[in-house]
Amino acid sequence: MIRNLPVVLASGSPRRQHLLLELVEDFEIFVPQVDEDSLTTLDPHKTATELAKAKALAVLPHRQDSLVIGGDTVVALPNDDGTFMQLAKPTSKKDAERMLGLLSGKTHLVITGVYLAWVGGSRSFNETTKVTFRDLTAEEIKKYVATGEPMDKAGAYACQGGAEKFITAMDGSESNVIGLPIERLQAVMDELDK
């Protein structure tokens, strides 16, 4: 059913684009303008899914003959009271250093929401991976932030890049942490095609 539709990725993330190539040979990139702050909720799972939905639905009217895939990743640090501190993309080098300091020595959640939309239907899901960082020194954090790598990433790090050496444990999908849970996306697309 949906396999015959052209695919459009509603995201400007180079990491999502690279990962989607593992599932889809040819797709278009259409970067929507979405006010992410207005869609942030107290529940990081809902935030990720709502942002993915907003991105996909912003693109669908422009590509009605296509399957539009929206995605958004949220890094969430559990608080003692059961709530979460959500870490988006850093707004400055200082902000990136602050985020990495918060993640140092702790386990956090990386949640990616995915929303598939086409004329006449939609499907959404989110995937969660637990990531544990070792204790980081202030010097390590400064050196990593100086590379510029953290600046366009939720939580201010790339697990497939320089921050790989910070991670002591990962429970769940690595592609999810990079930005698109391709194993789950493949399963959902296969299911929709039955």
The active-site residue, picked from 72, 81, 95, 171, is: 72
| Rg over CA atoms, the chain | 17
Number of Cα atoms under 13 Å in the Cβ half of residue 32: 25
CB 175 within 8 A of CB 12: no
Other CB atoms within a 10 A radius of the CB of residue 137 amount to 9
Contact of 71 with 100, CB cutoff 8 Å:
no
Q: 5: exposed, middle or buried (C-beta count within 10 Å: 0-12, 13-18, 19+)?
A: middle
User: Residue 56 belongs to what H/E stretch?
Assistant: helix 44-59
Active site residue 190: no
Residue showing tokens 């869609």: 39
| Active-site residue list | 72
